[in-house]
Amino acid sequence: MTRKLYAEFFGTFWLVLGGCGSAVLAAGFPVTGIGFIGVSLAFGLSVMTMAYAVGHISGGHFNPAVTLGLWFGGRISYKIVPCYILAQVAGGILAATTLYWIASGQFGFDVVSSGFAANGFGDHSPGHYSMTAAIITEVVLTCFFLLIIMGATDKRAPAGFAPIAIGLALTIIHLISIPVTNTSVNPARSTAMAIFQGTWAINQLWLFWVMPIVGGILGGLIYRFLLQDNDS
């Protein structure tokens, strides 16, 4: 269990540092920098690389919504859920702390006004999308993320390719939803960045816990009861 928790801790650390780090440091530098496409790829590549690196140890969740979705999907025991979530949140917070130290080295950097890659809706949505749009986006995309995770890791699926499918899925998710919510689908990622933004991101954080978890549970249940070959 200790090795599994370390794997979840470091995996979430890399996901937040790689994905949010690209958004904070590189998305708008110079002029447009790597843009939405680059940030989307950074999130997908972060989860893919760590899934290959430590997925064989812990399952490579790196996300409380994924852990809860896999529990409802019948893939893991409830006993590991709280420990996994704590490890994921801790890894995300340490990554955000590291990113803050790096970003603070730039003259004039202001973590509050910059947004610090935090998730938001309404006035704090990159495209000024409503709370309703944010709810639908986070639930639907997390639901499909779980469907892809469970399908790619099904024993009937081609062996060894699951991290690629999962990483590409996360890339597509970000391409769709960065303009809407700055893309969460991961409460640990949202919490880590909201702590440092410290104002509106904290007030809106509830949505980025509740809706990804709802979507993850829906995805786990759909795959378990509609798509999984339980007889085999």
Tally the domains of the chain.
1
| Residue ranges, the chain, pLDDT below 50 | none
Q: Minimal CA–CA distance to 116: which of 14, 197, 206, 202?
A: 197
Pairwise CA distance, residues 211 & 187, whole Å: 9
The verdict on residue 137 lying in a domain is: yes
The verdict on residue 52 lying in a domain is: yes
* pLDDT tens string 23-49: 999 987 767 789 999 999 999 999 999
The verdict on residue 228 lying in a domain is: no
What does the block give as tokens for 183?
């893309």
- Check residue 200 and give its pLDDT: 96
The verdict on residue 230 lying in a domain is: no
- Check residue 30 and give its pLDDT: 67
| pTM exceeding the 0.85 threshold for the entire prediction | yes
The verdict on residue 232 lying in a domain is: no
- Check residue 132 and give its pLDDT: 98
Which residues neighbour 198 within 8 Å (Cβ) at sequence distance 6 or greater? Answer: 111, 112
**What's the mean per-residue pLDDT of the chain?**
95
Residue 205: which domain range? Answer: 1-222
- Check residue 207 and give its pLDDT: 98
The verdict on residue 231 lying in a domain is: no
The verdict on residue 227 lying in a domain is: no
Q: Minimal CA–CA distance to 49: which of 4, 11, 75?
A: 11
